[in-house]
Amino acid sequence: MCSFVNRLKPVLAYSLCFQKGYSRKVPAHIKHIGPGLRTSKQPLDSVIIRPYCSRMEFGKGLFFRQLFESESSTYTYLLADKESREAVLIDPVLETVERDLKLVEELGFNLKVAVNTHCHADHITGTGLLKNRLFGMKSAISRHSGASADILLSEGDKIHFGKHHLSVRETPGHTDGCVTLVTEDHSMAFTGDALLIRGCGRTDFQQGCSRKLYESVHQKIFTLPPQCLVFPAHDYKGQTASTVGEEKRFNPRLTKSMEEFVDIMVNLNLPKPAKIVDQVVDCGLWNVGPLLFNVCHTCEVDDLCKG
Ligand SMILES: N[C@@H](CCC(=O)N[C@@H](CSS)C(=O)NCC(=O)O)C(=O)O
């Protein structure tokens, strides 16, 4: 037991640093043993400790879980008030609805709202199916998305769950209806496709506009505290989270001037997401059905701004 405690000492010492939000270089004898925890076997002196794991465990009764859908590389986020058990699900994916429902049920949460950060072009939202399965659950999306939902969100709106809330920051540019959702203490931002880790949402379809996106990120996300954790809707490289401070320093696109950014975005030449072709629905503007939030063919060619 004693040796177990001794082995844990360095970990505990660093855990205390996490709680205070410190960012420190890890001494050479500290080894990573799990998210945010390290033991003393493998040198990792180039690694900077990030405080998000401790916040997940200790943060003012806030439950937080990041979930992943591998086909579209989409992150879904479950947040809940541990006391009242009220929960919010961000960006659910149709294929993983059963997984999400099981988790919510196992943990005894009451899912109040499923919110989409935008109209997704690469996958179908799970919101409609969740609504069919969970009596009383409401769907939410930006009023500028063109999609239908129980709650149409605008700048400054709050999504309450127990004593917590997410506030809405409109961050158009990838689509007109993109929002970033920020926890009440500004410790976490769910940036959808506006800001990705070391990247950003593409702007070559679905009303994409690079200038708008640049302004959104600089005015609405980069003004958050540097330690604010950034949780995007996608990652294609296995990265899970970043911080506002990191993105302000290292984002290869958004650290540039507006003109350089526009040039980068025009020349991205990304292949279209696989599902955008399969799930195109000729609805005239947007598909506003209960299950589909996919883009229609008309919108795809109806770009407002090419850069
Ligand atoms: N190759 C991917 C498509 C990736 C993609 O286009 N992602 C979008 C977000 S979903 S519309 C995006 O904005 N990407 C920006 C970037 O720089 O990657 C696929 O397999 O679907």
Examine the predicted complex and report whether its ipTM is higher than 0.90.
yes
Work out the pLDDT band at 1, boundaries 50, 70, 90: very low
In the reported structure, the alpha carbon of residue 202 is separated from the centroid of ligand 1 by a whole-number distance in angstroms of 7
Same domain, 7 and 99: no
Residue 77 domain-assigned (yes or no): yes
The answer to whether residues 14 and 140 belong to one domain is no
What's the domain range around 131?
54-301
Model-level pTM? 0.77
The domain tally of the chain equals 2
Compute, in angstroms, the gap from residue 103 CA to the centroid of ligand 1.
Answer: 27
What pLDDT sits at residue 90?
98
Both 24 and 63 in one domain: the answer is no
Q: Whose CA is nearest to atom 20 of ligand 1?
A: 273
Nearest to 78 by CA among 98, 58, 100, 59: 100
The response to whether residue 70 sits with its C-beta less than 6 Å from ligand 1 reads no
More confident site: 29 or 273: 273
pLDDT band at 33 (very low <50, low <70, confident <90, very high): very low
- For the ranges 109-118, 120-129, 175-184, the lowest mean pLDDT is seen at 120-129
Any ligand 1 atom below 6 A from CB of 86:
no
Residue 32 sits at φ, ψ, to 5 deg, of: -75, 125
- Ligand 1 within 6 A of CB of 92: no
**What ligand 1 atom has the least distance to the C-alpha of 199?**
17
Same domain? 142 vs 283: yes
Residue whose CA lies nearest to ligand 1 atom number 7: 273
Give the C-alpha distances (Å, rounded to integers) separating 33 from 8, 66, 115. Answer: 11, 19, 33
The predicted structure's pLDDT at residue 16:
33
Summarised one tens digit per residue, pLDDT across range 263-302 is 999 999 999 887 664 444 443 333 333 333 343 333 333 3
**CATH for 249:** 3.60.15.10
In a domain, 130, yes or no: yes
- The total of other beta-carbon atoms located within 10 Å of residue 21's CB is 14
Do 30 and 177 share a structural domain?
no
Q: So what's the pLDDT on residue 82? A: 98
Q: Residue 43 pLDDT > 90, yes or no?
A: no
Residue 189 domain-assigned (yes or no): yes
Contacts of 4 (CB under 8 A, 6+ apart): none
Q: Is residue 204, in this structure, part of any structural domain at all? A: yes
Residues 140-181 pLDDT 10s: 999 999 898 999 999 999 999 999 999 999 999 999 999 999
Distance between Cα 273 and ligand 1 center (Å): 6
Give strand pairing partners of 188.
Answer: 229
CA 114 to ligand 1 center in whole angstroms:
22
